[in-house]
Structure 1
Amino acid sequence: MTTPMPADAIAVGRIAGAFGIKGWIKVQPFSLDASALFASKTWWLSSDTPRPQALPSAFQVLALREQGDLLVAQVEGVLDRNAAEALRGVNLHVPRSAFPKTPDGEFYWIDLIGLSVLNREGQPVGTVIGLIDTGPHAVLRIAPPGLAAPTPAQEVLIPFVSRYGCDVDLAAGRITVDWQLDWQDAE
């Protein structure tokens, strides 16, 4: 299938290998919630490394189910174990627009990355460059103003919990936090 990857495509999983002998693939989702993979009947493909064979641009998903910590899928055009195994390591993308809607007050991490972070006084804290999953809650990784690629020691880490405000306004492109700028320099 030669379908161009949508402009809003997000990597949501990776092919972990073959499942059985009939061409099914094992998929390792990048999130504990694999609903984005279930929401799209087309997966677009990419690879971080050169491949011996050209990849199709996309697969039509024929069947998909959970199998332990992984998913297993039957995709169009992959008919045997060898073809499935040859896809090991390929990244799977779906359009962001296909993601299921989140309940109020919940957000996909991908939507938080790039947002400006301001404190309650309107002072810029920085820009969200990533999140860390600590188990009980997530932590915002923030690049201070003027630093596009900070070292780990330069990053501002703020727990993404109500205790620190963390009011998200996606439409305005910002997160407001209860955080003082001088806390960043305290050791």
Structure 2
Amino acid sequence: MTARSGAESSRTTGARRTKDYLVAGRIVRPHGLRGEVVVEPEFDWIGRLRAGRPMFLGEDKRRARVSALRAQGARYLVGIEGCTTRSQAEKLRGQIVHLRPADLTPLPDGVYYRWQLVGLAVETDDGQPLGELVEIFATGANDVYEVRLEDGRRVLLPAIEPVVRGIDLEHGVVRIRLMPGLIDP
């Protein structure tokens, strides 16, 4: 099992989750004359959402259907059904883009979105509770999980196979093997 988070091009996603939606990015400006918009993404969702799928815009989460989607450097160019002019696209500037998790194609086995892991309980592989996974940091070699222990201390644990023994999303638990020196003061 690979205890990676994110998608193939990024181990850790920046996606934040609200009740039923992921905060996927923000519309930064119109693009061209035909109503496309430039989206600054919070995580790599370009390969996970297809044309024809819905996105939800703004605080009131107005439903909009994606008509086209492509990468442009680190940003995405998005066509939205019914948005056919630059002036229509300009009205969307600054809007937050939300996606429903169910509208994204599944990740490969053993790969997780950040929002799936942050907030999970952390316990030892023999079932002893340790605390809560509160943050994930991407490093060059592997992710690092920040865990708030039950006594309030925070520790950093490498998200590597000898340490992370299992991730159980159904039960909301990350199981780790405590190796000498990982938590000791």
Using the size of structure 1 for normalisation, the TM-score is 0.76
Q: Of 120, 137, 154, which residue of structure 1 is paired with 2:125?
A: 120
Residue in 2 aligned with 1:163? 162
Structure 1 CA distance for aligned equivalents of residues 52 and 180 of structure 2: 42
Residue in 2 aligned with 1:15? 27
Residue in 2 aligned with 1:145? 150
Q: How many residues align?
A: 168
Q: Tell me if the contact between 1:39 and 1:98 (Cα under 8 Å) persists in the aligned partners.
A: no
Cα 1:23–1:39 change in 2 (3 A) is: closer
Using the size of structure 2 for normalisation, the TM-score is 0.76
Cα 1:15–1:136 change in 2 (3 A) is: farther
DSSP-derived class of the 1:139 partner: strand
Question: Which region of structure 1 is more displaced relative to structure 2, 175-184 or 118-127?
Answer: 175-184
The share of aligned pairs that are identical, in percent, is: 29
Residue in 2 aligned with 1:32? 44
Cα 1:33–1:135 change in 2 (3 A) is: farther
Structure 1 CA distance for aligned equivalents of residues 123 and 44 of structure 2: 29
Residue in 2 aligned with 1:103? 108
Query: Which fold has the larger relative contact order, with Cα–Cα distance below 8 Å and residues 6 or more apart in sequence?
Result: 2
Q: Tell me if the contact between 1:20 and 1:81 (Cα under 8 Å) persists in the aligned partners.
A: yes
| 1:73 and 2:78 matched | yes
Letter in structure 2 aligned against 1:17 = R
Structure 2 CA distance for aligned equivalents of residues 126 and 104 of structure 1: 25
DSSP-derived class of the 1:163 partner: coil
Structure 2 CA distance for aligned equivalents of residues 46 and 145 of structure 1: 37
The runs of 5 or more residues in structure 1 that have no matched partner are 1-5, 48-54, 148-153
Q: How far did 1:101 drift?
A: 1.6
Cα 1:97–1:181 change in 2 (3 A) is: farther
Q: Tell me if the contact between 1:115 and 1:175 (Cα under 8 Å) persists in the aligned partners.
A: yes
Give the number of the structure whose residues are more often strand, by fraction: 2
Structure 2 CA distance for aligned equivalents of residues 27 and 164 of structure 1: 37
Letter in structure 2 aligned against 1:18 = P
Cα 1:23–1:33 change in 2 (3 A) is: closer
The C-alpha deviation readout for 1:73-124, integer Å capped at 9, x for no partner, is 1113333223323323322111111221222222222111221101234322
Q: How far did 1:180 drift?
A: 5.7
